[in-house]
């Protein structure tokens, strides 16, 4: 099983046609990895969650937290020495994998298990320090595409969903691309080339090369641990640096000269094509994207790549045409009625009474209500909340009344509140809209012009989370 997990990425990558690297422009600025201080390490240790499992070093997090003032000085010395020499210690890279059954398929088939990778706690502290420096550098020089919403500060899935839905009219075709094991097939040489072009050079580049190189994993089942296997491709799973390195790896896909626009949340990619000749334009774009993926050792899963034609023509692409698609947790349908999504929410929140029935403590009851009801109602409500939500409102009210849950915001208020927050967050972008665009946006808010202006000029609303109402 350990061989399967260690080689899953390299075996898939070996089937991809070999093409030359894409040529990228070089950023004239270079990163400087500043010294890591004792105080910084102590802060990082404070933020560790005590309930997390030990990594291959078998060091309990509770012990590290209790000894943070003793450990911070030697750790600062080791981490800074690594930065100076460009060497990431091998002992801090060993991953222990715990396989979790997916509840389907044969137990003898490793592909039916999800690998949970546990890394040494000391290495994770070092990674967090490096992450802050790398991420700060990327944001300072705007090196990550504005079309990328994954794993970034002040960006989330709901913004990506809003951008996709707001782009839709009756001359739109959206293709939802599915990549096979994208994180696992990242090619180290290509990634290092991209890091260098972005400005990670010298000892800093050596450090990241060392971080990726000579990585091993073992698999633990019960009390038994397998032999070590080397991992030759893929960003490290279970790390904080892994997702950021993947964003760097996939970043240049947004530089392709396409007929349409791309919206990404990590590897979840939507291709939005508008206007006439939708199918011709989409086919051209998919060919360019497929070529880029091959250049970067990534694979498009054609069986799971699907599209919605909002123009409702009878044409066909070579991939599956659907009338609805679950994009980042929100079901988008061809009529933009969000009927299926609302029905899905109804089904989920109807499970709440069973959980609430055993709750006696008022605070705990409110927490359960928040988890079983409000979390579903709140998610992406700015996208679907102005649709037919009468049934949802009734279910919410019924649960609130039955279990006497106090100080809960109504669904209509929740929608308005989240739209106002959206306006506040995007004030600068909205201020650039034309009068016609502003009027269109205003209509989506279901607010009068005078009210919209009030909200737009920072209406005095509470900024705490909805659960505090």
pLDDT at 91 over 60: yes
The mean pLDDT of 458-464, rounded to a whole number, is 38
- Cβ(347)–Cβ(333) below 8 Å: no
Residue 138 lies in a domain: yes
Number of other residues whose CB lies within 10 A of the CB of residue 269:
23
Asked, for residue 195, whether it belongs to a domain, the answer is yes
Residue 402's CB: how many other CB atoms inside 10 A? 12
Q: Is position 357 within any domain?
A: yes
Q: Are residues 51 and 191 in the same domain?
A: yes
Q: 25-63 b/e with 16+ CB inside 10 Å = b?
A: eebeeebebeebebebbbebbeebeeeeeebbbeeebee
Residue 286 is assigned to a structural domain of this protein: no
Are residues 134 and 9 part of one domain?
yes
Residue ending a domain, among 232, 251, 270, is 251
Stated pTM of the model: 0.88
Q: Which residues contact residue 95 at a Cβ distance below 8 angstroms, ignoring those fewer than 6 apart?
A: 55, 56, 117, 118, 119, 215, 216, 217, 218, 231, 236, 237, 238
Query: If you average pLDDT over residues 135-156, what whole number do you get?
Result: 96
With a CB cutoff of 8 Å and minimum separation 6, the contacts of 54 are 60, 61, 118, 121
Residue 149 near residue 157, CB atoms below 8 Å:
yes
Question: What total number of domains does the chain contain?
Answer: 2
Structural domain contains residue 226: yes
Range of the domain at 204: 2-148+183-251
- Chain-centroid distance of CA 395 in Å reads 31
- 36 in Cβ contact with 76 (< 8 Å): yes
- Does residue 466 have a pLDDT over 70? no
Give the H or E element holding residue 326. Answer: strand 324-327
CA–CA separation, 279 and 286 (whole Å): 10
Q: Which of 210, 227, 251 is the last residue of a domain?
A: 251
Q: By C-alpha distance, which of 346, 419, 315 is closest to 338?
A: 346
Report the alpha-carbon distance of residue 410 to residue 97 in Å, rounded.
44
Instruction: Write the pLDDT tens digit of every residue in 37-74.
Output: 999 999 999 999 988 888 888 899 999 999 999 999 99
Residue 427 has a pLDDT of 60
The pLDDT of 313-340, averaged and rounded, is 94
Q: What are the DSSP calls for 94-127, one per residue?
A: -EEEEEEE-SSS-TT-GGGEEEEEE--HHHHHHH
Whether 262 maps to a domain, the answer reads no
Contact 330, 383 (CB under 8 A): yes
Q: What's the DSSP call for residue 73?
A: H
Which secondary structure element, helix H or strand E, spans residue 279, and what is its range?
helix 278-295
- Position 431 in a domain: yes
Q: Look at residue 424 in the predicted model and tell me its pLDDT.
A: 67
Paired with 263 in beta bridges are 270
In a domain, residue 461? The reply is yes
Q: Return d(Cα 42, Cα 40) in angstroms, integer.
A: 5
- Residue-wise pLDDT tens digits, 410-426: 777 777 777 777 766 76
Torsion of CA 92, 96, 100, 105, to 10 degrees: 120
End-to-end CA distance of the chain: 49
Write down the mean pLDDT value for the chain: 88
Q: Which is more confident, 107 or 81?
A: 81
Q: What is the pLDDT of residue 108?
A: 86
Instruction: Answer whether residue 270 shows pLDDT above 80.
Output: yes
Q: For residue 192, is pLDDT > 90?
A: yes
Q: Are 310 and 169 in contact (CB under 8 A)?
A: yes
pLDDT at 428 exceeding the cut of 50: yes
Of 225, 251, 277, the domain-final residue: 251
Q: Helices 241-250 and 188-198: crossing angle, nearest 10°?
A: 80
Contacts of 41 (CB under 8 A, 6+ apart): 68, 71, 72, 75, 76, 79, 125, 129
Whether 90 and 228 have beta carbons less than 8 Å apart is answered as no
**134 and 22 within one domain:** yes
197 and 53: one domain? Answer: yes
**pLDDT tier for residue 397 given thresholds of 50, 70 and 90:** confident
CA 19 to chain centre: 28
CA 133 – CA 181 distance, rounded (Å)? 27
pLDDT tier, 468 (very low <50, low <70, confident <90, very high otherwise): very low
pLDDT tier, 439 (very low <50, low <70, confident <90, very high otherwise): low
- Model confidence over 216-240: pLDDT tens digits? 999 999 889 999 999 999 999 999 9
């Amino acid at each position: 099983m350990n061989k399967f997990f260690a080689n899953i990425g390299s075996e898939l990558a070996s089937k991809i046609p070999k093409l030359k690297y894409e040529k990228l422009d070089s950023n004239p600025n270079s990163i400087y990895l500043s010294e890591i201080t004792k105080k910084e390490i102590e802060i990082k240790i404070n933020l560790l969650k005590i309930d997390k499992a030990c990594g291959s070093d078998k060091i309990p997090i509770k012990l590290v937290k209790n000894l943070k003032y003793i450990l911070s000085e030697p750790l600062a010395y080791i981490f800074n020495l690594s930065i100076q020499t460009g060497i990431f210690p091998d002992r801090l890279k060993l991953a222990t994998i715990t396989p979790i059954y997916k509840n389907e398929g044969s137990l003898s088939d490793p592909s039916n298990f999800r690998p949970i990778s546990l890394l040494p706690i000391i290495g994770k502290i070092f990674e967090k320090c490096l992450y802050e420096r790398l991420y700060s550098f990327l944001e300072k020089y705007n090196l990550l595409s504005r079309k990328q919403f994954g794993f970034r500060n002040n960006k989330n899935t709901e913004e990506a969903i809003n951008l996709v839905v707001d782009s839709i009219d009756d001359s739109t075709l959206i293709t939802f691309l599915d990549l096979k094991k994208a994180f696992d097939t990242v090619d180290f040489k290509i990634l290092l080339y991209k890091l260098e072009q972005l400005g990670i050079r010298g000892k800093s580049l050596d450090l990241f090369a060392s971080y990726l190189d000579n990585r091993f994993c073992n698999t633990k089942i019960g009390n038994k641990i397998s032999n070590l296997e080397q991992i030759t491709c893929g960003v490290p799973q279970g790390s904080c640096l892994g997702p950021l390195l993947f964003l760097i790896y996939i970043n240049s896909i947004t530089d392709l000269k396409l007929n349409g626009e791309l919206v990404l949340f990590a590897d979840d990619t939507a291709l939005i094509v508008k206007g006439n000749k939708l199918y011709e334009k989409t086919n051209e774009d998919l060919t360019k994207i497929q070529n880029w993926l091959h250049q970067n050792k990534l694979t498009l899963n054609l069986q799971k790549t699907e599209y919605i034609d909002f123009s409702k023509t009878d044409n066909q692409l070579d991939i599956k045409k659907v009338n609805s698609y679950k994009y980042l947790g929100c079901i988008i349908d061809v009529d933009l009625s969000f009927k299926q999504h609302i029905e899905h929410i109804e089904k989920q929140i109807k499970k709440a009474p069973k959980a609430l029935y055993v709750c006696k403590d008022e605070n705990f009851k409110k927490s359960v209500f928040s988890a079983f009801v409000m979390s579903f109602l709140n998610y992406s409500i700015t996208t679907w909340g102005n649709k037919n939500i009468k049934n949802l409102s009734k279910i919410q009210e019924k649960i609130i009344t039955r279990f006497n849950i106090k100080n809960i915001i109504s669904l209509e208020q929740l929608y308005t509140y989240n739209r106002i927050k959206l306006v506040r967050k995007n004030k600068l972008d909205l201020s650039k809209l034309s009068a016609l665009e502003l009027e269109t946006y205003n209509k989506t808010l279901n607010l009068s012009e005078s009210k919209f202006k009030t909200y737009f000029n920072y209406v005095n609303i509470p900024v705490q989370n909805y659960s505090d109402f």
